[in-house]
Chain A
Amino acid sequence: MTTTAAPEARPAERRTAPAAPPPVRRRRRRGDALGRTGPSKYLAHAGVWLYVLLLAAPLYYLVISAFKRNTDIFNQPFSPFTPLTFDNFGLAFSQASLGTAMLNSVYVTLGAELVTLLLAIPASYALARSKGAVGRMVERVFALGFLIPGFAALVPTVLLSISLGLFHTREFLILFLPASALPLTVILLTQAMRAVPAELEESAVLDGAGPLRVLWSVYVPLSVPTLTVVAILNFLSFWNEYFFSLVIIGPDAALRTAQVALPTLSIANAAQYGVLAAGIIITLVPAYLVYAVFADKMESAVLAGALKG
């Protein structure tokens, strides 16, 4: 029995043997699929959620601290189950004169933004149309701007503001901040304008348009997504600028920006972290609103760049 059973079994094994590879291949494919939907997927999700938590934790800490007393911030930093108060917001707004300070920030930020765009748009247009070596060289000079660290420019900048008679003024910042923003702005805009089809410009020229008309009616409308991106990036950079504003505009409550006003809420021996956190949240609101309003355009510009790539 045993002798007959064994030979019968072998053919059976042989019969199944040729059929085995496809299931193995299938299993391999299933294995790939499992990589996407099985344990690896959970691992990937866990990693993503961990990353989200890492990003969200400081934001949560900032927000919850804005509603707490100092002692609770230190003793139960992440707990929401402590006495919460809205008073910190009122104190921050009044004690740091945040109303005036935010108007000053809006003035400096919008002013610098306008100057930046007024300089960057024609410069980018010229560079985008330029075909020669001089144009390439000028574009590289703009790129070199990235290599200059801000602090290295502090002393000459202060001296310049003094010699121009613009020390302790907001207007100097409006003129100075664009210098730090121009390299990135010009490079991004130049690339966007290079993507404008030459035929459109030729058509406009045939219709009698001069260079300024071509820039305004052809290049600018087609560069709006990139313009939005650089405008948002510059807005955030100008709005959050602290050191030059502190040193050049100074601490005068009538002139200082929001970022300079905030630290007066908390000094070494008498820190009021709850009030400071509330003040930070108040000054974050305009930056968040700008981003929220223009987020769609920014995303579509980035997406358009990705598709072109």
Chain B
Amino acid sequence: MRKTLSTAGAGAGAIAMVLALGACASGGDAAGDENVIVVQTNWTSSQAQNKPLFDAFDAFTEETGIEVKVLESGDNLNQVYETSLLAGEEADVLLVGLLEKQLDWAVNGAVVPVDDYIEEWGIADRIPADALVDWTDTEGNLRAFPYSGFTWPWWYNTELLAQAGVEGVPQTADELISAATKLRAAGIAPVVFGGIDWSGQKIFLQLLEAYLSEDEAKQVYAEGGVCENPKAMQGIELLIELRDAGVFVDGIEGYTADQAQAAYLDGQAAIAPLGSWAYPGASEELAAVTELGGLPLPADAAYEQPIAYRGSTSAGWWISPNGEQKIDQVRQLIEHMYGNEVIKGILDEGGVIPVADFGGDTSGVSAPLLAQSLTEFPERVEFPVMPDIYVPADVSNPMYRATSIAFTPGTDAQTICATVDEIYAAAQ
């Protein structure tokens, strides 16, 4: 009997707790409230560099009285958004990059094309033409308002290079091979990147397009056909030459982007291609001895200088069908976020590179690597086609495997190109 009573007591306690917790939080229908704008983003408040963004939201609410409710999502943002769209409960506005599923959002009606709005709201004039091209889909829809971009330089630790007897940052493929040989002789790891993931995939494609013109690169990215393209095959031969000469660290085919970044930031490797998102992670000492450059190429390549990626697709403001229902409030938010003060705050404090013209005043940028990437770095390199917006979404992830195979010692050019072409064929 006592046991029955204690069981009943436990059950009653659990019921009481459930009822109390159920009353605790209520989401409310913010999406339908005209005085609330729901923003879904992967710029999470857990990242220190995103603080200026959240400050800007607070300032917007103070100015206009319109509340900004932020839905923070991780890497699963597109899946969560598409499901909520099905229910008609999607966020009004999204701040997210242009890649994978997002490439087809405007075509599929998941978001509203912003061609007219960007003109009406006077933002088009401040966006570089090539950024507008990047954000325009195959049907001519401007998918979103381009907001932030990135640079993806090759980082050279000049102190480690000097320790190994390397004079200056390599400017040609031969100099890179020579530098790697000296670094290895000095017991220092040469070039490191994530050979098994997205970061290595970009370096693989960077090498692939070393001999391609911009248009040829776009075609290869979109359709494949690597084995049949002699210039693309030259790029693969270059990869093999560098790989077999020991330019990449041992076991590169198994490295992740995080491991590679840690190896460079900790001074274990002398060279690493790392995106601008890694700038805040570099210590002052490391930043002081790091020179940002590009991938050195042979003399007969399509580019005269080393190459590095940059892009305008890190993040854009997307408007959902729900957002279009309260377009006046959305306009106020977008105009606020493109204000010079907000953009400079995001650049200076957050280290985020804006796409929009903000007058070119970089005097407030205190982070040395960010400053270098805005001033000296563009002079040192050429910028080839950034593959993200041309490589089909179905091909992008499977290509990580091809990347790992390509960087595995002993793999020949024919195997590498066939692996890539098979991925394109499977996606069709």
User: Which A positions have Cβ atoms within 8 angstroms of B?
Assistant: 70-71, 73-75, 91, 95-96, 100, 103-104, 106-107, 110-111, 113-114, 117, 158-159, 161-162, 167-171, 174, 216-217, 220-221, 224, 227, 246-248, 250-255, 263-273, 275
B22 neighbours in A (Cβ, 8 Å): 107, 111, 170-171
Contacting pair B275 A74 (CB below 8 A): no
Contact with A along B234-268 (1 / 0, CB 8 A): 00000000000000000000000011001101101
Interchain Cβ contacts under 8 Å between A and B, 6 examples: A71-B265, A74-B262, A95-B44, A246-B79, A267-B42, A272-B46
Q: A107-B22, A251-B73 are in contact. Are A268 and B198 (CB under 8 A)?
A: yes
Any chain A CB within 8 A of the CB of B4? yes
> Which residues of chain B from 350 to 368 have a CB within 8 Å of any chain A CB?
none
> Which residues of chain B from 67 to 89 have a CB within 8 Å of any chain A CB?
69, 71-76, 79-80, 83-84, 86-87, 89
Contacting pair A95 B74 (CB below 8 A): no
A239 CB, nearest partner CB in chain B, Å: 14
Q: Give bound CA distance, A159 to B47, whole Å.
A: 34
Any chain A CB within 8 A of the CB of B129? no
Return the 6 tightest CB-CB contacts between A and B, nearest first: A74-B262, A107-B21, A95-B46, A263-B74, A167-B87, A269-B277
Contacting pair B84 A70 (CB below 8 A): no
Q: Give bound CA distance, A216 to B3, whole Å.
A: 11
Contacting pair B87 A168 (CB below 8 A): yes
A221 CB, nearest partner CB in chain B, Å: 5
B186 neighbours in A (Cβ, 8 Å): none
Contact with A along B29-42 (1 / 0, CB 8 A): 00000000000101
Q: Give bound CA distance, A211 to B199, whole Å.
A: 65
The listed residue with most A CB atoms (<10 A of its CB), out of B47, B74, B84, is B74
Contacting pair A95 B45 (CB below 8 A): yes
Any chain A CB within 8 A of the CB of B289? no
Q: A95-B45, A114-B11, A114-B18 are in contact. Are A252 and B71 (CB under 8 A)?
A: yes
Any chain A CB within 8 A of the CB of B425? no
Contacting pair B89 A168 (CB below 8 A): yes
A106 neighbours in B (Cβ, 8 Å): 17, 21
A283 CB, nearest partner CB in chain B, Å: 15
Q: Give bound CA distance, A73 to B262, whole Å.
A: 9
Any chain A CB within 8 A of the CB of B415? no
Q: Give bound CA distance, A162 to B84, whole Å.
A: 9
Q: Which of A110, A253, A263 contacts B76 (CB 8 A)?
A: A263
Contacting pair A275 B198 (CB below 8 A): no
Contacting pair A91 B46 (CB below 8 A): yes
Q: Give bound CA distance, A270 to B350, whole Å.
A: 13
Contacting pair B277 A270 (CB below 8 A): yes
A264 neighbours in B (Cβ, 8 Å): 44, 46, 72-74
Contacting pair A254 B17 (CB below 8 A): no
